[in-house]
Every structure is written in structure tokens, then in C-alpha cells.
Structure 1
């Protein structure tokens, strides 16, 4: 599970959940859930040799851990995030993260016009979000998109059934083979690299696991339709197979990513 509703982008996530549903979720993301995706971030940065020569823009960067990791490798970093509470947490980490605005507009929300690397670590990014992000990639630069892997390679598949039951339109399947590359090609980019990485989701207990998973935004639609109490109860039940003898919770998801190059002199989107 990544950081947005499976069928949409950060824009959809923020629009789907009102203030009451999102209250406290930003901090739960930053304190519990965000670290689960560190293997994905590090694999991308290692494979693409992110370093001092990299200017990186994180689209949908949430509270900014992915930016901090790139900054630790010497990169110049900036972010775009639609959720105000997440932006505040990123700012508290000393990061420059701007509001996202509308993905239908071409105006760039951060001072630098384009970047050598743009990342969209959103689960199932929409074609519109990918095209918007491609416009912020320098000619010869790279855009990275990511998604959860096949259902049989993800422990969270059983947990996501809670969202499927109550809001089936909000949760789709993992992309078919080549799906991420097709998104990049449709945005005018040339697919150039890809990878897959296991991300262990480990929590000290059931309460922490439920809070972390709810912070992903994947269950917002289910909460709106069935109520927060019922969704939390069903999440606890779905997590019982992943309980360890010491009371902790552990499951492993596979994530896939693909990178595309913006051709020199090409107009993307």
C-alpha cells in the first residue's frame, strides 16, 4: 500500500476525505506508515544514482521522508503535496513543499521550472498526474512512477478486502505487466529502467497497524460509506493472520517502479 487511493492520485485522496476523517492521520502517516516505503525509495535512488548532481521534485511527497533520503545523498530536493497537514509536517523537517493546485493547469507550483528527476510514489497514479509530472521533468531527465505489485505478492491484499467490500470503485487491481511503462509512454516519455522491491510492513501492535493503514488514505471511501468504527473493527480482524507471537504485526508487499526519460526537445503531456 502506498500513499493514495488505488485508482487515483493525491488529489483524489484529499478530495475524498473531509477534515474529520483526516484529523490526526497526517501524523500517523509520518510516525507510523511512511517508513514502510523506505526500501522503495532507496531502491529507486540507488538504481538511478541520485546524488549531488540531482535536482529532485517529489510529487505527492506527503510528509517528506522520501525527500529527506534523497537530500541525504546530496540531491537538491523540493516537493508538491495536496494535504495541508502533511505539508506542515514536511516544513517542520526543513523541506520546501508547495501546495499542488490543479493538475489540469500547467503552472509550476515551486520556484524551479523543471528537475532532473521527478518522482510519483503514488499508488496507481492517473494518466493526468503522470502527464502533469512529466511537464516538470527537464529534457533528458527522468520521471519515476510506482505501484503495488501483483496481489499474490502482497500480504496487504487480504487487508484491502475491507476497502473492496465497502467502496469497490475506490480500490482497483495492481497494474498489468507493463502498465507503468505504458503510463510513461502515454506522457511522451521513453521507458528506461524498472525494478521491484519488497517492503516489509511491521507494526508494534494491532492499534498501530490500524492507525498506519488508515493513514494511507486507502480506506477513506470505506469509512465514508460504512463508518470509521466498523472499518477499524474489520481492519483489526483482517490483520489477525499477520499477528506475531509477541503481539506485533508483520506483512510484506512488493512494489514496482518504472522510470521514463523525457526526450531532448520533446514536449510532454
Structure 2
């Protein structure tokens, strides 16, 4: 299998400069939560990553910039198709896991450079005469960040945005709403909200991009047991505000109870979900 021929670049960005609240899962703070994300939760998104790459016919010659790259699984899958990959994220713990994963996948050490707070995107390979040909934002980013990233791409390059699908098509919706409900007494802002029908198109247009196509992908959340499900869901960050408002033991108890309807014979937890992606043109 072909892998990237040069070291992948992993760049830390300042949270306030790069990310808005995300409609797709992202890891919470803390090394154990980041590891749970990488080992349990992130694999749930593989059908989305692969569907997007198949639609783009991603392969050798592609230069991909991943915004909110997390622990690097989407980048690794792109690198295995022959793409050169650069990842941006605000969490050093996730970047450390991404570096570990990409180094093992490519056989070469990945680079890591930190961005200065408040200065937007850092110096990237695309700014040095090698523009990107694909930009992915599998987590929601601000329109200003998306526009800044798109300026580093070749004209007409694909920019991919993603979010949860319709709430009624996502079995995880009631569970994720639990996190918002538990956080509400303290007035804490919830990380998850039900997506609007045109959220992705509105974001693309706000960034100066032209929507060019979309699709839906089934991404079921399947866990070996309830403990794995709780750890995976807590790693998304959607329950952080609830934990701050109450305490982790209370949130774990409520989450465990909320998962009962999704338990199958043998203890497995299964929640069918649909995610939506939009392909825009830079």
C-alpha cells in the first residue's frame, strides 16, 4: 500500500483562532480522554472519511490539509491512498497521538510546529509555493478560518465540510442531548446541538466557497460493552460542560442509564447514525 512520501506536517493551532463548537465528535481535554478518542471513538467516523475520499478519488499527487485533524486517523487513511497530508489541531495531546500514528504509518517522523496565539493559521507548506488541492474540515470550524485555509489551496480545489445528519436519523441524538440537559442548570454552553438543514451550505458561503455537492453516510456507533460506550462518548467533549456543572460520577451514571435502550444481546451497544458532508469549491 502506498504511503505519503514526505513527513506529514502536524501543526498546533490556538483554539480561539481555529475552532468553533463542533457538530462532529472531537476529543475532550486530558490524555486519557484523548487516548479513548483515538482507540474507541474515532474509528466510528471511518465510513465518512472513506466515502469522502472515494468521491474525491483521492490518491497520489493530492496535497491535503486537515482542519481539526484530531488524533490523525483521517490523515492516515489519506496518506495510505498516496496523498501528502498536513494536519492542524489545537490540542497537543491529540497531535502527539497523530504523530505517533502517522509515523508508524509512513515510517518517517512527522513534524510539529506551534502557532502563535491570535494569529490565525500558522506557516504551512501551501504558503511556500505548493498549494493544497484538498481541504477537509470533518469538525466544524469558523468561516474565517475556513476562508483562510481555502486561500492556501489551488483555485477550484475541493473543500469538504461535515456534520451530523438529521436528528431523527441519528440514534445518538437523545444521548447527546443528555449532555446539554445536564449542563443547563449551571448555564454552561453545550458542545452539541441538532444541525440545521442548511448549516454546511451557510458555512461554506460565509467563507466565500461555492457548494458543489453533498452526501450522507451511515456511521453507526458500536461498542463492545457499556463501559467502552461511556468512555468513547465522554471522549467526544460533548459531556465536558455537564461534568463541570455536576461531577463526573453523576454524568457517568446518567449516561450509563441513557445507553440501556441501545444495548444488545451480549452487552454490545449499537447506535445507528447518519452524517452529512458537503463538497465546496475554493
Q: TM-score range by the shorter chain?
A: 0.7 to 0.9
Which residues of structure 2 form unaligned runs of 5+? 1-14, 104-109
Instruction: Please state if 1:155 is matched with 2:171.
Output: yes
Equivalent residues in 2 for 1:1-269, closer than 5 Å: 8-9=21-22, 22-94=30-102, 96=110, 98=112, 101=115, 105-113=119-127, 114-122=131-139, 124-168=140-184, 169-262=189-282
1:117 match: secondary structure? strand
The change in CA–CA distance for 1:218 and 1:102 in structure 2 (over 3 A counts) is farther
Deviation of 1:111 (Å)? 3.0
The change in CA–CA distance for 1:91 and 1:219 in structure 2 (over 3 A counts) is same
Report what 2:6 is aligned to: none
Whether the 8 Å contact between 2:22 and 2:192 is mirrored in structure 1 is no
The change in CA–CA distance for 1:55 and 1:188 in structure 2 (over 3 A counts) is same
1:74 match: secondary structure? coil
Deviations 1:85-127 (A, max 9, x none): 11111111235464674785344343332311111111x4333
2:267 match: secondary structure? coil
Deviations 1:146-185 (A, max 9, x none): 0001110101111112211123532453332222012111
Whether the 8 Å contact between 1:84 and 1:99 is mirrored in structure 2 is no
Deviations 1:44-69 (A, max 9, x none): 00111111121111111111110111
The change in CA–CA distance for 1:225 and 1:99 in structure 2 (over 3 A counts) is farther
- Whole-angstrom distance in 2 between the partners of 1:137 and 1:103: 23
Q: Which moved more, 1:127-136 or 1:96-105?
A: 96-105
The change in CA–CA distance for 1:128 and 1:183 in structure 2 (over 3 A counts) is same
- Whole-angstrom distance in 1 between the partners of 2:239 and 2:144: 23
- Whole-angstrom distance in 2 between the partners of 1:176 and 1:118: 23
Q: CA RMSD in A?
A: 2.4
Whether the 8 Å contact between 2:21 and 2:191 is mirrored in structure 1 is no
Q: Which moved more, 1:229-238 or 1:130-139?
A: 130-139
Deviation of 1:7 (Å)? 6.2
